[in-house]
Chains A and B, each alone.
Chain A
Amino acid sequence: MQELVIVSGKGGTGKTSLTAAFCSLAENNVLCDADVDAADLHLLLHPDIKQRCDFMGGSIAEIGADSCTQCGVCKDLCRFNAIDESFVVDSIMCEGCGVCVDMCPENAINFPVQKSGEWFISSTRFGPMVHARLGIAEENSGKLVSLIRKEARILAEKKGFDFILTDGPPGIGCPVIASISGATVLVIVVEPTVSGFHDMVRVADLAAYFRIHVMVIVNKYDLNIEMTRSIEEKAQGRNMTLLGRIPFDPKFTESMVQGKNIFEYGKEGETLTAVQNIWNKIMQSPFMNKLGSMDYKVTIK
């Protein structure tokens, strides 16, 4: 099983728009939206939900006012300042550690498991998709990401597919770590800005920490050619594969407004050729194509 995970460090560099574009080029694969916090891929793929499951995250403490003697043990032990003067638990501050639950001398604290979100198996015009929606202000995003990646794998095996295309979240924290661990290859979408550059290096460091090979796409490259060059230099110096450049193109936004990917929106143009070439480069790389076998559809024009 191979899994390509698309990340960026910085948000808004074009991860989801590119993932959606790749959907038109990939074959026999399962799609996975691992950005469970602010998932957007479904806005372009319009998945038809076939199976809906609750995601049970952690538990939250609830003090039963009837049996509580206000002795203060829970308040003293809580390191998250989640229990106030009147012995009510602030569900946003509660970490779900259960220390108060176990230590309450009156056994007055309940610890119900919370539904923290939902996850779905859907069908789309590009094949099956696994995605999720974490509840607002919920924790455990990493746990949900791991869960849907596992489900995507199970689904792919069931369908006889050997490839998963995953749209990852921004950042380098918990959900990103959960998205990239065990991935075949990581594609970082960078924009040529000081922050895009800075954030790419942080994700690349994370990838190195987990020993995953990184490939780089510079999106909107013509906004700052000089910066694009510095990014490419840095990437090469760090032994990342340079996949190519994509120009700044309002078509990405225009197609998004219509709920389409750029291949469905327009048939030809510089941007489409760039994305197609990048895709070919990914699929022909030794990471995705270990035996080096040629795909005649790609090589013979």
Chain B
Amino acid sequence: MIVSVASGKGGTGKTMVSTNMALALGEKLTFLDCDVEEPNAHLFLKPEKELVELVTTSVPSVDESKCTFCKKCSDICRFSAIIVVGTNVMVFRDLCHSCGGCMVVCPENAISETGRELGTIEYGQRDSIRFVQGRLRIGEAMSPPMIKKVREASFPDQLTIIDAPPGTSCPVIAAMNGTDFVLMVTEPTPFGLYDLQLAVEAVKLLGIPAGLVINRCDIGDRKVYEYAERQNISVLLEIPFDRKIAETYSRGKSIVEEMPEWKDKFLRLYRDIELHLERLKETV
């Protein structure tokens, strides 16, 4: 089973919820930090780093001695990543989406593939938790291929928890697509509500069952609750604003370890997800 933890708005508590749920469970599981632009889960799980792997995506390299400058490559490229000017072929590696089109159409077999560094994937272990995170290279624009690569690290017969990036566009979709359950984390404020609505639309588009965690549930107003009720999304956990929680988080400590009363709540959160999915299976 794969549970992804997502939110439209950033800073609502995705990492706090996903890492604490993983720590509360204390069973064999895989934790994937798919927020490859700003991976933070490692700051709370503190895994022992075991392996760092370089991730590349393929970009074309042109052998100009074979090239006849026929422009077929630049014609097929929708991303303006390869351009022929006179007797020059220019490859803009950062614009390349690695579709391989230029290689397929080149009549002279003048194009081969070389790599562009996307970033690194780091593997580690924290007690029973197998930890994997992607770290996008500074200056690299494309995070989805990196996220897809991190997703490959999950074991099909074991629980996987995914910490997703914020937003509702392609990086989030890459992190949520194909997961069994999306746990959405929001806060009851106008920004939280607006971005939650976008996230819910995205989850619906993917057809994934979802539940809600409302963080800092006692600030703002009640509109998030009203919205959740209208949309028939269950609120699985409420976390009040508590300076102690905020301070614990700020120091990189986990809530379940520093405030043991929370361990049960995070455990129950996961059981509720299981229950939700079981019920869903029964109705189908």
B-binding residues in A (CB < 8 A)? 8-13, 16, 37-38, 40, 43, 58-59, 77, 79-80, 92, 95-99, 102-103, 134, 136-139, 141-142, 169-177, 191-196, 198-199, 202, 205-206, 209-210, 223-224, 227, 250, 253, 256-257, 259
Contact = CB atoms under 8 A, between A and B. Distances in A.
Contacts of B170: 137-139, 141
A77 to B, nearest CB: 6
B40 A16 contact: no
B5 to A, nearest CB: 14
B63 interface: no
B168 interface: yes
Contacts of A99: 76, 99-101, 104
Interface residues of B, number: 58
A253 B101 contact: no
Secondary structure dominating the interface of B: loop
Contacts, number: 179
Given A92-B177, A97-B78, A227-B250, 14 more contacts: A11-B11, A11-B12, A12-B10, A13-B11, A40-B191, A59-B78, A97-B101, A99-B100, A170-B38, A173-B141, A194-B251, A210-B139, A256-B190, A257-B221
Contacts of B38: 9-10, 170-172, 195, 198-199, 202
Given A224-B247, A224-B251, A79 B139 contact: no
Contacts of A92: 173, 177, 205-206
A134 B172 CA distance: 13
A256 B251 contact: no
Interface string B71-109: 000001011000000000000000001111100110000
Given A193-B250, A223-B250, A38 B168 contact: yes
B169 A205 contact: no
Interface stretch (B47-55, B121-129, B194-202, B271-279): B194-202
Contacts of B198: 38, 136
Interface of B: 8-12, 15, 36-38, 40, 43-44, 76, 78-79, 97-101, 104-105, 136, 138-143, 165-171, 173, 177, 189-191, 194-195, 198, 201-202, 205-206, 219-221, 243, 246-247, 249-252
Given A194-B251, A227-B251, A10 B40 contact: yes
B252 A194 contact: yes
Given A38-B195, A43-B194, A227-B251, A202 B104 contact: no
Contacts of A198: 38, 40, 43
A142 B249 CA distance: 32
A102 B250 contact: no
Given A11-B11, A95-B99, A136-B201, A253 B220 contact: yes
16 contacts: A10-B38, A38-B9, A43-B191, A77-B104, A79-B98, A92-B206, A97-B97, A99-B104, A138-B169, A173-B142, A173-B171, A193-B251, A193-B252, A198-B40, A223-B246, A256-B190
